[in-house]
Amino acid sequence: MVAVDKTKILAEGKVEIRVHRSGMWQRLVFLIKKIETPAGPYPVLFTDRVLDFKELARIAQEYDLPVQTPTGTAFPKGKTPADYRSLV
* pTM of the predicted model over 0.75: yes
Query: Is residue 20 assigned to a domain?
Result: yes
The string of DSSP codes covering 31-78 is EEEEEP-TT--EEEEE-SS---HHHHHHHHHHHTS-EEETTEEE--TT
Closest C-alpha to 31, from 46, 50, 11: 46
Q: Tell me, what's the pLDDT at 7?
A: 86
pLDDT in tens, the chain (88 residues): 556 788 889 999 999 999 998 889 999 999 999 999 898 899 999 999 999 999 999 999 999 999 999 989 999 999 999 999 988 7
- The residue range of the domain holding 49 is 6-87
What's the pLDDT at 88? Answer: 79
Residue 1 forms part of a structural domain: no
> What pLDDT was estimated at residue 3?
62
Number of domains forming the structure of the chain: 1
Coil/strand/helix, residue 21: strand
